[in-house]
Amino acid sequence: MKNLLQLLLITLVFTFCSKKSTEPDPKPVNKWPFDPPSSVPLDAFEMNRKIWRGFNMGNALEAPEEGEWGIVVEDEYLETIADAGFTSLRLPVTWPAHCETEPPYTIDKEFFARVDHIVQEALKNNLVVLLNNHHFDQLNDDPVTNGIWLEKLWEQISEHYKDYPDELYFEILNEPHGKFTALIWNELLAKVLTMIRKTNPYRMVVIGPVSWNSPDYLPTLELPENDRGIIATFHFYNPFQFTHQGASWAGDDANDWLGTQWIGSIAEREDITRVMDKAVEWSKLTNRPLYLGEFGAYSTADDNSRYRWTDFVARSAEKRDISWTYWEFGAGFGAYDREKGEWRDYLLFALMPK
């Protein structure tokens, strides 16, 4: 009897395991909520209009380590930006701080995963994401020797994000300066762009000129004529003595500028519109859309001046079909007070008038 029970038990176990092993595995759940990238060329002007009004998430992933400069990107920040009506997020990332410093310059997997999370959360909130390469000091100091470093970084980045939707844009390099000449920059950007196009043939790529993305240097940009998936960018902080008064990184004279106001006089407004109009002339000549990647006035300026300047720059850009992302969300230039968990109303109204 005992042997019979043992035999019956073995038979039942074998039958159960056999049945289980022959059943098909459950259908995998696709958790990716986004559309695949386009398989046909896109209209760069239309894609530029999708940026429209947005924010830079400054001082976060551009720091050597996230949090060192006071900001860790919270998911709720992205919801807050979207809920206020903004449509884009520029994400400054200092990739060279998170990769090997010698060939093949492999990017840290955990850091990649962190960037992935922020990008995905922004996309879930219907924000266009502009992913850039920020604070590449080694490259600015020696663009000839370290150009291959930039190429290898974008080889990895473009491969990693090749299946992301069209609403993720790449920006090759923030504010090339230092030993960059226009000639060196034009040669390097062409190489990097060729690298990106191998895996992302129709993704929007943002490119700005030398001299810290100065609008005066837009005419020095030589962009591949046959690549129309490019959005040209420039940055604007004029007058610098106003926008950077009291900023510790702006030079020894920055404290002498404290108290500088911007009242919106005819001359002050003309100084801004003159630059904008010159940029638009270049845009029409080259048939390239324009994107104002950074503008902002530091918190040491008085609130009324900050409101007037921010409002005038933003409206001036919009009148000329120039999309923009304000510098920045929640630090020294910030429109959002992270400690109080609320917008600075006067800056929010300057950026998003009701």
- Asked if 189 and 206 count as a contact pair (C-beta separation under 8 A), the reply is no
What distance in Å separates the CA atoms of residue 143 and residue 163, rounded to the nearest whole number? 30
What distance in Å separates the CA atoms of residue 242 and residue 250, rounded to the nearest whole number? 11
The vertex-213 CA angle with 212 and 216, nearest 5°, equals: 105
- Is the alpha carbon torsion for 86, 33, 94, 223 positive or negative? negative
Is the bond preceding 74 in cis, omega lying within 30 degrees of 0?
A: no
Beta-strand relationship, 336-337 and 342-343: antiparallel
- Asked if 135 and 174 count as a contact pair (C-beta separation under 8 A), the reply is yes
What distance in Å separates the CA atoms of residue 219 and residue 133, rounded to the nearest whole number? 22
What distance in Å separates the CA atoms of residue 3 and residue 155, rounded to the nearest whole number? 66
Q: Choosing from 121, 167, 171, 294, which is the catalytic residue?
A: 294
Give the number of other Cβ atoms within 10 Å of residue 147's Cβ.
Answer: 18
CA-wise closest residue to 219 among 295, 279, 291: 279
CA-wise closest residue to 230 among 172, 191, 272: 172
SS3 of residue 233 by DSSP: strand
Q: Choosing from 121, 175, 225, 328, which is the catalytic residue?
A: 175
The question of whether 175 is a catalytic residue gets the answer yes
Give the 3-state secondary structure of 295-351.
ECCCCCCCHHHHHHHHHHHHHHHHHCCCEEEECCCCCCCCCEECCCCEECHHHHHHH
The question of whether 294 is a catalytic residue gets the answer yes
Active site residues: 175, 294
